[in-house]
Structure 1
Amino acid sequence: MADPPHEQPWSRVLEDLESNPNGLTSDEVRRRRGEYGANDIIEGGGRTPVDIFIAQFDSVLIWVLIVAAVLSVWAGHTVDAVLISIIVVANGIFGFVQDYRAEQSLESLRELAAPTATVRRDGEVVEIDAQEIVPGDIVVLRGGDVVPADGRLLEETDLQVDEAALTGESVPVSKSTAPVESETPIAERTSMVYKGTNVTRGKGVAVITETGMETAVGAIARELAMTEETQTPLQTELDQLGRMLGGGVLVLSALVAPLLLLRGTDPVQASLTAVSLAVAAIPEGLPAVVTLALALGVRRMSDESALVRRLPAVEALGAVDVVCTDKTGTLTKGQMTVSRLWVNDVVLDLDLDGKTGDTQRADRKDLLLQIGALCNDATLESGDPTEQALLEAADRHGFDLEDLRDEYPRTGEVPFSSDRKWMGTVHDDVGYVKGAPEVVVDHCDRILTADGPVALTDARRDRIETTVREFGDDALRVLAMAYREEVTGPDDLADGLTFVGLAGMIDPPREEVADAIAATEHAGIDVKMVTGDNVRTAGAIASRLGIGSEGLTGREIERMDDEGLRERVEAVDVFARTSPEHKVRILQALQDRGHNVAMTGDGVNDAPALKNADIGVAMGIRGTDVARQASDMVLLDDNYATIERAIERGRTIFDNIWKFVAYLLSANIGEVALVFIASLYGYLILPAVQLLWINLVTDGLPALALGSDPKGEDVMDRSPRDREQGIIGRAMLVMIGGMGAVTTIVLLALMFYTLEGEPAVTPRTMTLVFTSFVFLELVGLYVIRWLRETPILSNGWLTASVAVSILLHLSVLYTPLSQYFGTVPLDVADWGLIAVVLAVCLPGYLGVAVLVRRMQD
């Protein structure tokens, strides 16, 4: 079509589509089906299972580990090669399972399609497969139908459509045949219906304007297909670490072997030592520890109502510094609630008793609630959300709804319509009316007061108008209630009514959310509301929750270029009336400003933003399958407070990974530096078998146990880590360099002290250095945990693993295993030397830790 259909009169739209109210002919349908294709969401742009599996090995660290496995085989260390290979394959399989599930989001879009549709063809009303719909078809819509394609309304009778999945609008939208302005956002295009939305009330007739991939849902599917998966900060940082280690291994291997050969070391031993050092420098346990830490986080978060779909997302939550959250159901309870009444010129809060000593006021309140319950077509389980809220209020304040309807049977009614804006019911000789205040008041000539009905003067009308405005300023949806006695039928409800009062309702904030928002903001995380609701409602809820008041609407965003939006986006707290395109632009503007963004959503319209976000968070209760499968995490309770707990968990997991990397690399640097410097003096201080044993004993169970470390006491008192600051940042380099230097210097001193000028390393010296190194690594482990403010004895698994490691090492000193490691038993004096080494190194380690802590403050 040349012009947008929502802004054109429906007659013009029919003309442009070469259609008519009686529908297309069968011949014309066949022609158009050949031209436009099926009314279907076409899956495209996805990866095959083979592609997904291969992609799991597209990591520098994984390739470094594969090289390490090859080198281990060459050096004759088959066990190490097998363990490394198992780690690589297991990580690949686990990643494949997670990523394959994520590729199902486009398939979920197809499930939104209505299976059948009612259309007018050849002048008759027939039911067809919804995939056979073509542009120009005339579709008949009734309550309970799923809209089969995008269409322009030709007729409507009290038509309301739930568009929450597409627009985020919290209540059904009343539709009209009147055109709207060209720039009207999709949530306010009352003249249109959209594919995949649900008719909740009334009926209508529409001419189909777009089908398949050209619909609003199809545009989202196309965008999802073109969106590439983004790497989490952890994935990026592990790749950077892999590159660093790969380069270091090459340099190490190229230097150590020649140096040992120049000093007269046996060529085979020199080669084995070079290979062993290369393998020792690679943290082959890192993928296993990372996977364990993330898997434990996933399990614990599932217990806290957060279901993680991609493992790296757990840690990535810890890097988030902006949360863009939906309003309805996430910050609020997700259901309309009557929270305020106005009767007898007094405002009553229904969260309070409302009956405190004022019998007359309570009677008026009860009458108002009774009108709301009887002039009502809903049930507590189903129906219009506004009417359900009125029923729930009456039920909450002591009315037995079944008995009430039995006592006052309905004998007549005036149905609600978007033109009339009120509905009425007759119960024997009494009529009840509810509707828009400005309309109901016009039909009233009296008002009920504490002294009974009195004339509705201009002053009283002004008071009602003022109260309606005050309720509206608090984002309440307001309905007026009235009655008339001695009625003979529905026609008597058009005038002569007595005004009773006002009911204000809202989707109220969750009680726990305000504290959760305060906690996340205390942790340096900015919270922004991004919603399809109107700006007044959104602003009122945001103000109650302490989010902020600076607002921006979808129309204002459309008038901005990308640079203008980037300049405004950080200062804005509330984005209202947003479309899918707006949400993606908001997200990209924040990311361009260097932020790590978590985006929440529940509808089809949220899927592109969820997939583009650093962390996409979908709703588990209200969320569509499309949103859930485009996300990284699903909130099973749809509650913002769960996000705050997940962020805390994510930070804890990053801390544990940081501790492990610091622990492992500080030890590896110490090993490499010690062997390298000793080789310059002609000493082979740690042979290959001892280097590999150190890695097995200290990097095995203790390192794995770090993955289950509890949170540090300051985890939510810190600001989010810099997006550009990887695991190997300045603080990490100081930590591993400082601890590695202390270890190297002290153990070199021990070596020279015990050798006493001997030309070759003695078994005693080798055993002392070997044993000291193992114990120093375990001491360093607790220093690193202290740095992250982790209680020393808070991890029972770690304490047990350290004890097992010590026992294992003692076994190579005092059992026949010593012949395989070249060690000798140590006596009391030797253990005294080791105690001195520990006593000297510990202050050095603590000094490095204090320096790092100051750098991080």
Structure 2
Amino acid sequence: MKLVSQLKKRQQQERQRHDAEVRLRQAALLPEEKLLEKWSTQTTGLTATESQTRLAKQGPNEITTADHESSWHRLLTAVFAPFNSILLVIAALTYFTDVLATTQPDYVTVIIILVLVALSSTLSFVQQQKATQAVEQLTQKISNQADVYRDGKVVTLPTEQLVAGDVLRLAAGDLIPADLRFLTTQDTFIAQAALTGESEPVEKIAGNVDQTEDVLPDLPNIGLMGANMVSGSATAVVLLTGNETYFGAMAESMSGDRSKTSFENGVESVSRLLIRLMLVMVPVVFVINGVTKGDWLSSLLFAISVAVGLTPEMLPVIMTSTLAKGALSLSKHQTVVRTLGAIQTFGEMDVLCTDKTGTLTEDTVALEKYLDIQGKTDQRVLRYAFLNSAFQTGLKNLIDLAIINHATELDVSAIQAEYQRIDEIPFDFSRRRMSVVLQDNNGRRQLVTKGAVEEMLEISTKLEVAGKVVPLNAETKQIALQTYEKYSAQGLRILGVARKNDVPDIHHFSVADEQDMVLLGFVGFLDPPKDTAQAAIQALKKHGVRTVVLTGDSDGVASTVGGKVGLANEQVLTGPQLDQMDDQQLTQAVTDCTIFAKLSPTQKVRVVETFQAQGHTTGFLGDGINDAPALRQADVGISVDTAVDIAKETADIVLLKKDLLVLEKGVVEGRKIFGNIIKYLKMATSGNFGNVISVIIASLCLPFIPLLPVQLLTQNLLCDFAQLGLPFDDVDETYLQQPRRWETRSIKSFMWFLGPVSSIFDLLCFAVMWWVMGANSVEKAALFQCGWFVFGTVSQVLIIYMIRTSQVPFIQSRPAAPLMASSLGIMLLAVVVGFSGLAQGIDMQKLPLNFWPWLAALLAGYCLAVSFCKRVYIKRYGEWF
């Protein structure tokens, strides 16, 4: 049935993909007029009323896959979890032996097992629901936006509100939010790696095509959801939205499994270890009890219960609860976690690569200087810079806005009325410049360009000095470079401004026209360091995280800002220098260098890869188009809510406030989460392993089973319930100082070291029950079982306080209130059951009061023994958990 269902699903997906492809290919062939007519729209877009009507009919522009986990699915998963499935099997067998196969039916054991299943399922379901809702609520705080023509005006709307027929305005950095056809393009290049796997951008053009034999993503006038604008600008009409898109039809087959983190791999390795122990010990327990007791059915049930006892079955609940709590805690600090697992990687991070602007600086760029080649203030340079920024239609960044605002304050902006834009050559990260072609009121055309100084010098053949145009030679170039270096060293970001007169009257301009320019001068910008930057870097350093700057800015600016925030700036490596290094040289360089400047997107990725190759868990914080590849490469990608769409979509964590201090809180939260999960694993594996050793010894020596299956399962579940407060527990400050990576060896050594200690005191409990309490015959088995049940439950819960800290419990390290409540509640319940008539509910005999002092002595001795072992363990292994 499952194979049939999967086949039908694949056939449905194939039909959807085929239908989408047919419609898109038809749209690619249509002339613009026919295209707009078919989609009942126009170049000025839809009206607000029509868009609402279509949204109600088409639904939101979202992709929902068939395997989206519903509440009903989560409930079924919780009920039929492996632990519960075993309980249900035992319940069925118990129903047969205690009800159907006897003349005096006994429903008590069956009812108790079913109650345990209900409790476990409910708890797991509730925690999963809370975690899912937490992530959904946090994710809703982040929304990708699109510029849409509505009622003839451009408005910004969430991409979920787009409908077929909408006309979009697109710029560099925008995600392609739906399947669309381009109406106008200007040097429009898009990246389609999510669809084709090809990282190289492809150019898109407007107008219809004559044939559509190309594969769909390569059609020159079609853009598909999942791609993103790399450079240029465009307008486009939306053809398909949501699940009707080509990407929507492919979503399930393209989703794939993401690579596992070291933590997930570690959990799997511990699971494999426990499975191997089960494969050895369970048959041993079964055979020993079958031979010595003669009751093979009871022995089988008991052996299965032992298998359950070896399993940390509450780990998914503990992990989910802990991660959800961490996500909610970070949300209070303006941090949205898009994937829960990223929180733990946050804590594991030991290298943070970050851009400079807005992270180390205030992100409030102000125009400070407009200078000629000799460094003298020249308002003419400001005028040309203003014309370039004002007339470009692409992505206006903070630098453009700073130029426009400053020119407006000085009434320079009035010059805009004297020109009209003819064409533009948009910015890209390989050229690091952008140009506009303008025509003045006299019909004269000019090409005006601004960009990085080195790139501007490459395309210039002349300079303007003291009002005169002179050739660019070694002498004049040295004058320009001295001016640039002087102000760059002062922490100003310097851009060059150039122009070319008498541009020919042609219809389309390209990068090839950016030559034979006249360099007019420079504009300089100041983005002062944040007051909190130095404190944040020191806080990260205190917690074992090294901060490294990866920026596209000049080395002078990067060095100055880095020095002001406390980073070592004696050595600064630039992109061109990186290109001259082989992998071995770069490996040595990243060990010593903290500031990397003038980097391209691929160079940022290479630096991140080099850190990862050295074994570092590397985070990357960025918000621009050029940061997307590095965000994808990093172990944890971090962006901000004001970032371009592609950066937000790529990131694992999004900051609503761009501040390194927020990151430091995330690092600490990640380590708390890791610590609390490791506490549970070490407690569960060592305690359960010790119980199995005790069971084997008891099975060899006792004439009866030491604990009935229902008793063993009840004890196991109670001990797990006692640890439900762990997600809320505090972690010692000393534990938070260094990055924490998964160490399976540590889990194994802890289990082998502490497990036998608990077995020793189990054997002492056996001795007390056998020789002191007189539970030394088959007739007294229920009393013996009750004594071990109470001691085993209380000791496993009490030991939480010993294991949760490497320090002295309660004196040097106090547990959190939720952990106190859950653990003390379970200890009280176990004692009440053991010393009252409730013991009969799970086939035990009520304990006499004279067992109290023996119980207290055993528990005190166990705590003292664990305290001694803790000191020995820390001395030997250098850690506790």
Residues 534-590 of structure 1 show CA distances to partners (whole Å, capped at 9, x for unaligned) of 333223322322333343333444455555544544443233333333333333332
> Which residue does the alignment assign to 1:257?
286
1:856 has 2:875 as partner: no
What is the CA RMSD across the aligned residues, in angstroms? 5.8
| Partner of residue 780 from structure 1, selected from 780, 784, 799 | 799
Distance 2:587 2:183 in 1: 38
| Partner of residue 576 from structure 1, selected from 597, 600, 607 | 597
> Which residue does the alignment assign to 1:243?
272
1:316 has 2:316 as partner: no
3-state SS of paired residue (1:618): strand
> Which residue does the alignment assign to 1:732?
750
Q: Report if the CA contact (8 A) 2:188-2:229 is conserved.
A: no
Residues 148-183 of structure 1 show CA distances to partners (whole Å, capped at 9, x for unaligned) of 45369xxxxxxxxxx9x99xxxxxxxxxxxxxxxxx
1:474 has 2:490 as partner: yes
Q: Report if the CA contact (8 A) 1:655-1:788 is conserved.
A: no
Distance 1:412 1:818 in 2: 90
Q: 1:650 to 1:102 in 2, by over 3 A?
A: closer
> Which residue does the alignment assign to 2:683?
663
AA aligned opposite 1:442: A
Q: 1:50 to 1:210 in 2, by over 3 A?
A: closer
Distance 2:580 2:135 in 1: 37
1:328 has 2:357 as partner: yes
Q: 1:299 to 1:722 in 2, by over 3 A?
A: closer
| Partner of residue 838 from structure 2, selected from 807, 817, 821 | 817
| Partner of residue 678 from structure 1, selected from 698, 713, 717 | 698
Q: Report if the CA contact (8 A) 1:674-1:748 is conserved.
A: no
3-state SS of paired residue (2:619): strand
Displacement of 1:705: 0.4
AA aligned opposite 1:856: G
TM-score (norm 1): 0.64
3-state SS of paired residue (2:687): helix
Residues 288-331 of structure 1 show CA distances to partners (whole Å, capped at 9, x for unaligned) of 11111111111000001110111111122111122121222222
Q: 1:817 to 1:97 in 2, by over 3 A?
A: closer
1:721 has 2:757 as partner: no
> Which residue does the alignment assign to 1:509?
529
Q: Report if the CA contact (8 A) 2:639-2:653 is conserved.
A: yes
1:329-728 mapped onto 2 (5 Å cutoff): 329-337=358-366, 385=398, 442=466, 469-477=485-493, 505-549=525-569, 550-560=571-581, 562=583, 565-620=586-641, 622-682=642-702, 683-700=704-721, 702-717=722-737, 719-722=738-741, 725-726=743-744
AA aligned opposite 1:546: G
Distance 2:306 2:260 in 1: 31
AA aligned opposite 1:575: F
Q: 1:588 to 1:506 in 2, by over 3 A?
A: same
Larger displacement relative to structure 2 (508-517 or 642-651): 508-517
Q: Report if the CA contact (8 A) 2:698-2:706 is conserved.
A: yes
Distance 2:86 2:600 in 1: 50
AA aligned opposite 2:342: A
3-state SS of paired residue (1:541): helix
1:758 has 2:795 as partner: no
Distance 1:210 1:685 in 2: 75
Q: Report if the CA contact (8 A) 1:315-1:651 is conserved.
A: yes
TM-score (norm 2): 0.62
Q: Report if the CA contact (8 A) 1:230-1:614 is conserved.
A: no
Distance 2:735 2:878 in 1: 13
Residues 64-97 of structure 1 show CA distances to partners (whole Å, capped at 9, x for unaligned) of 5476456445555334445555677778888989
Q: 1:217 to 1:49 in 2, by over 3 A?
A: closer
Larger displacement relative to structure 2 (251-260 or 645-654): 251-260
Q: 1:146 to 1:66 in 2, by over 3 A?
A: farther
Displacement of 1:238: 2.1
- Structure 1, unpaired ranges of 5+: 1-26, 34-45, 117-127, 134-144, 153-162, 167-185, 197-207, 343-366, 395-400, 422-434, 445-461, 481-501
AA aligned opposite 2:114: T
Q: 1:804 to 1:217 in 2, by over 3 A?
A: closer
Displacement of 1:48: 7.7
Larger displacement relative to structure 2 (72-81 or 304-313): 72-81
3-state SS of paired residue (1:729): helix
Residues 729-777 of structure 1 show CA distances to partners (whole Å, capped at 9, x for unaligned) of 3553355435434544443443454366934455444333222222212
AA aligned opposite 1:720: P
AA aligned opposite 1:634: V
Q: Report if the CA contact (8 A) 1:778-1:802 is conserved.
A: yes
Q: Report if the CA contact (8 A) 1:615-1:632 is conserved.
A: yes
Residues 463-496 of structure 1 show CA distances to partners (whole Å, capped at 9, x for unaligned) of 999887443213314699xxxxxxxxxxxxxxxx
Q: Report if the CA contact (8 A) 1:320-1:598 is conserved.
A: yes
AA aligned opposite 1:776: S
Distance 1:530 1:56 in 2: 42
Displacement of 1:517: 1.5
Distance 1:130 1:732 in 2: 62
3-state SS of paired residue (2:804): helix
Q: 1:65 to 1:97 in 2, by over 3 A?
A: farther
> Which residue does the alignment assign to 2:114?
78
Distance 1:832 1:333 in 2: 66
3-state SS of paired residue (1:263): helix
Q: Report if the CA contact (8 A) 2:623-2:647 is conserved.
A: yes
> Which residue does the alignment assign to 2:301?
272
Q: 1:289 to 1:526 in 2, by over 3 A?
A: same
Distance 1:441 1:274 in 2: 92
Residues 181-202 of structure 1 show CA distances to partners (whole Å, capped at 9, x for unaligned) of xxxxx99xxxx99999xxxxxx
AA aligned opposite 2:643: G
1:833 has 2:868 as partner: no
Q: Report if the CA contact (8 A) 1:253-1:274 is conserved.
A: yes
3-state SS of paired residue (1:251): helix
Displacement of 1:635: 0.9
Residues 752-805 of structure 1 show CA distances to partners (whole Å, capped at 9, x for unaligned) of 543669344554443332222222122211011222788644511122223321
Displacement of 1:605: 3.5
3-state SS of paired residue (1:699): helix
Distance 1:146 1:517 in 2: 47
Q: Report if the CA contact (8 A) 2:147-2:169 is conserved.
A: no
Distance 1:796 1:851 in 2: 29
Distance 1:78 1:340 in 2: 77
Q: 1:706 to 1:131 in 2, by over 3 A?
A: closer
Displacement of 1:681: 0.6
Q: 1:624 to 1:669 in 2, by over 3 A?
A: same
Displacement of 1:254: 1.3
Q: Report if the CA contact (8 A) 1:610-1:627 is conserved.
A: yes
AA aligned opposite 1:721: R
3-state SS of paired residue (2:638): strand
Q: Report if the CA contact (8 A) 1:229-1:612 is conserved.
A: no
AA aligned opposite 1:710: D
Q: Percent identity?
A: 24
3-state SS of paired residue (1:686): coil
Q: 1:283 to 1:383 in 2, by over 3 A?
A: closer
